[in-house]
Structure 1
Amino acid sequence: MKTAFKSIILLLALTAFYQSAHAQTRGGFGIKGGLNYNSNGQYFKDAEAIWGDPRENLGYHLGIFGKVNAGPVFLRPEMNYTNLTSQVNQVKLTTQRLDAPILLGVNLLGSLVSVFAGPSFHYYLEDELRNFDYEKYNSGYQFGVGLNLGNLGLDLRYERVLDGQRVDIDNVFTGAGDFRFQQLMLGLSLKF
C-alpha cells in the first residue's frame, strides 16, 4: 500500500514538473520588469565603487514581450521602458529610453534553462548626459541566460550600446568623453 502511494505521489510530482517546464516552451506574450546596473563602459573601474554604494548606478526596466517557439529554438521580441542612472564625479544623471530587443534563444534541459542573444534598438526619451540636440536612435546587443519555472521566468543579461555616445563633458566634469551604456539586467517575467 505504501509503495503504491509513493508511486502515485512520484507520478503526480513528475507530471507537475513536466507541465511547469512545458509551460515556458509554448509561445505567447507577457509582462516583465526588473533592475539594471549601468556602468557607461567602465565596469572594471567601477567595480570598487559598487562595494561602497551599490545603488549609485541602479535603474529599472518595465515592458512587454512575445515568444514564438520552433522546437527548442525561440524568438522573443520585447518593448521596454528603461531608466538608467549614471554617476559621474558625484553627480547623478538619468537617461530614459524605449528599448526593443529581438532575442533568439535556445531552450536547454527542456525549457528549464535558456540562453539567448540578439540586437537591441533604442529610442532616447531624455538623456541628462546630453542635454543638447542629439541623435535619439541607437542600437546595441544583449545576451544572457534564463531560468523558467512554469509561467514565471528569471533572466540575467548583459547589454552594450554599439555606437558610443560622444559626450563632451571635459568642460563640466573631469571624466572621459566616450559613454557607451553597458548594463547588467536582472529581470522577472510573467507569461500569460
Structure 2
Amino acid sequence: MKKYLLSVALLIAVSISTKAQFSLGVKGGVNFSKIGSDNFSDKNLTGYQAGLFARVGNSVYLQPELYLSGTGGKFESNDNNTAFSGKVRFTNLNVPLLIGKSFGEKDLNFRIMAGPIYTYELDHSTSLGNNISNAATDFNKSNLGFQAGAGVDIGSITADLRYEGGLTKVSDSFAKRQNLWALSVGFKIF
C-alpha cells in the first residue's frame, strides 16, 4: 500500500509541475452496502464515507481518493433446519484510483468514471445468531474491488453516484463479496 500511495503522490507532483489541471477536495456521503450469499437473504446496511480526493486532468482525468467508510450487511435465513439472522459492520480505509471522462463547461461539468479500489478493514463488529459458527467472524483485512459511476461538478461543488463491486471475498469461510451504492458530495478546495 505504501508503494501505491507513493505512486499517487508522484503522479500528483508531476501533474502540478507540468501545469495540468489539478483539484484537491474533501468529500462525504452515504452508502448502502450488502454482503451477497446464496445461503441467506441479504439486506442493505446504511453506512458513511468521508475523506479526500485529488483530480488530475481536464477532459480525461485521474482521480485518486483516500477515505474512511462504514459498510456491512444484514442477513437472515428461514431454512427449516436452521433459522438465523445477523449483522456485520466494517470500518474501512478505502483507496480507489479512478479514470474518468468529463463533459461540459467549467462551471457545469458532467463526469463518468471507473477504476479499481483497495479496501483495508480497520475494525468490524458483528451481531450473529446462535446458529452461525465462530468462523463467520474471521474476515479478510484486505479486499479488492471496482467502482463505476457518474458525477456532476457545479463550480466547486461535486456530487457522485457510484456502484462498488467486490472482487475478493469478505471472508473465506462465511460470505461472498460485498457490494454497495455510494452517494457523495464534495468541495474542491483548489
TM-score in same-fold range (> 0.5): yes
Q: Which amino acid aligns with 1:146?
A: G
1:95-125 CA distances to partner (integer Å, 9 max, x unpaired)?
A: 1110000000000123510000000001111
Residue 131 (structure 1) aligned with residue 137 (structure 2):
yes
Which of 52, 64, 69 matches 1:82?
A: 69
Paired residue for 1:35?
A: 30
Paired residue for 1:7?
A: none
How far apart, in 1, do the equivalents of 2:93 and 2:34 lie? Answer: 18
Deviation of the 1:26 alpha carbon: 4.0
Which of 173, 182, 188 matches 2:185?
A: 188
- Structure 2 residues not aligned, in runs of 5+: 1-19, 77-84, 127-135
How far apart, in 1, do the equivalents of 2:23 and 2:104 lie? Answer: 20
Which of 169, 178, 186 matches 1:164?
A: 169
Q: Which has the higher strand share?
A: 2
Paired residue for 1:143?
A: 148
1:127-178 CA distances to partner (integer Å, 9 max, x unpaired)?
A: 336534x53111110010001100001110000110122354xxxxxxxx43
- Structure 1 residues not aligned, in runs of 5+: 1-24, 50-55, 169-176
How far apart, in 2, do the equivalents of 1:87 and 1:167 lie? Answer: 18
Q: Count residues with an aligned counterpart.
A: 148
Paired residue for 1:53?
A: none
**Partner SS state of residue 35, structure 2:** coil
> Displaced runs of 4+ in structure 1, greater than 4 A?
none
**Structure 1 length-normalised TM:** 0.70
**Structure 2 length-normalised TM:** 0.70
TM-align CA RMSD: 2.1
